[in-house]
Structure 1
């Protein structure tokens, strides 16, 4: 996405639509899963249905997809205004919001280590905001930076809400969650987000501007198409991984897994986009890594049943 804007792309709604437009790809693994289920049921003479999701869970997925469309727009708009490294560190605050919503919506249990992680990751974004003059794109006006900052922070809030709502939907589904069911839930969610994004794109004339946007892409039309296709496919892999972890663990742990990629994102941003990496980013990155390590250590102690200071519940189930 950063490459798209760096090479002259300018359609925020186009990338927002691409974030969910790749949802038909999900039909391929769904078909493979159906063949496997059918082969297992053949001995009993049963023909299983292609879709197994119940209407209640389907509606939940579609409703969450509407929020996901807004989240995608915030994500893309923030990316258009910020360097990758800055965007990634601000986005890392999603763990704090995920934790908050998990506590309110799914009654997530916390330990001193998980609380420490949330505080540190929030502090990382605060440190970054104080170093604003060193974390902008070259020649970017102050108002554009702060607009991007606010949109990225808003995306972190919405993403935290989405992950907790996904976990709540799973817990209330009244059917065993399986790999196939996660795929069907994602298909419902992304299809809904795709429709909402298409409406926004059509309302702003985005579809009519794609040809002009491609013509102005510095690397040429072929690479423009490659960036678009890869973005659509990669977003589906991302969503499948995120909500898949929620299915087999929790929304909070899904946020932790995503934050573990922060170091890789920072390295790639410096190598491929030559982002500046000053003291503010270094401190923010250190706080983020410290927060991730704190959460991981707390989960390790839970798994090996080591008593956690200040935690009265010695039988807290592991979320990892």
Structure 2
């Protein structure tokens, strides 16, 4: 019995490790390639949103291989399983978030954009308090304050907006505000997803996790494709492809790999919500903060100004503060479990 329980624990943490790797690799690669798309001649905000969700067909083989061997009993009073929630609201939020983030990615350097996305953790914590009953501790509050200051500091990064290779001040502000709004929507989406898993679906299977990932992407894909055609941007795609600095083949491969890496990220992020919580999933995304700016310095020759360096340090500090709270929660949980195990034999005797 103990061995079987140990295997389950090891298997769970192995899945968490794999999902974590998917989030870090998928997010970092997708952001860098998305920035490359804009730097080398791409300009379609709707297309950059479409590629974030259009890659869902690559997940279908995994979906077909899923089973429903581990389930939890739904409590609807009649012994029937509750119906799956409609994905349209979540899909609309996901599509809106993708569009806003694409505007930010177009107008902001990768390092600034990535640091600003750290504010998702603050928004996620806020929504989790009301939706998921998240408790605020001194370390969580400290994390929120540090990440908020980290984001606000970027507004005063005049050096970047004044450089010849950076966007003008107006575009910089637009990118900042759009990315901030996208962060708020994404924070809401994460909390809502956890709520749906725990309170609505009430099932613990990989298949239902894949349902959420694929349904969300299908709906968001439909919304963004309609937006692409309604905006008229599709008419310029041929000219954009022909004028891409790296060539037509590189243009297509960039978009394809962006789609693939965003799906890797989506699967990992949903898996962490499924296995742990929305806040944990979000915190793992923040772990990637140092990865993208450092890579952008070598790939795109971004400048790491003093203000940006302080902002990144505060963001990392905020993440560490949150992870320390996770460590305390885990330690307290183990103490309680050990106490129960030691008391049970005495009670039975």
TM range (shorter): 0.7 to 0.9
SS in 1 for 2:38: helix
Q: Aligned ranges for residues 135-284 of structure 1 at < 5 Å? A: 138-284=165-311
2:132 pairs with 1:99: no
Flag the 1:155–1:136 CA change in 2: closer, same or farther, 3 A: farther
Deviation at 1:55, TM superposition (A): 8.0
Contact 1:167 1:250 survives alignment (8 Å): yes
Flag the 1:206–1:177 CA change in 2: closer, same or farther, 3 A: farther
Partner of 2:315: 288
Flag the 1:172–1:134 CA change in 2: closer, same or farther, 3 A: same
Flag the 1:65–1:276 CA change in 2: closer, same or farther, 3 A: same
Contact 1:58 1:185 survives alignment (8 Å): no
Partner of 1:121: 147
Contact 1:106 1:167 survives alignment (8 Å): yes
Partner of 1:25: 58
Measured in 2, the distance between the counterparts of 1:248 and 1:218 equals 43
SS in 2 for 1:110: coil
2:42 pairs with 1:4: no
RMSD: 2.0
Contact 1:135 1:276 survives alignment (8 Å): no
Measured in 1, the distance between the counterparts of 2:314 and 2:260 equals 32
Q: Aligned ranges for residues 33-112 of structure 1 at < 5 Å? A: 33=66, 56-59=83-86, 61-112=87-138
Deviation at 1:8, TM superposition (A): 0.5
Partner of 1:300: 327
Contact 1:23 1:187 survives alignment (8 Å): yes
Contact 2:90 2:189 survives alignment (8 Å): yes
After superposing on structure 2, the runs of 4+ consecutive aligned residues of structure 1 that deviate more than 3 Å are none
Measured in 2, the distance between the counterparts of 1:208 and 1:279 equals 42
Flag the 1:56–1:207 CA change in 2: closer, same or farther, 3 A: farther
Q: So what's the TM-score if we normalise by structure 1?
A: 0.86
Partner of 1:47: none
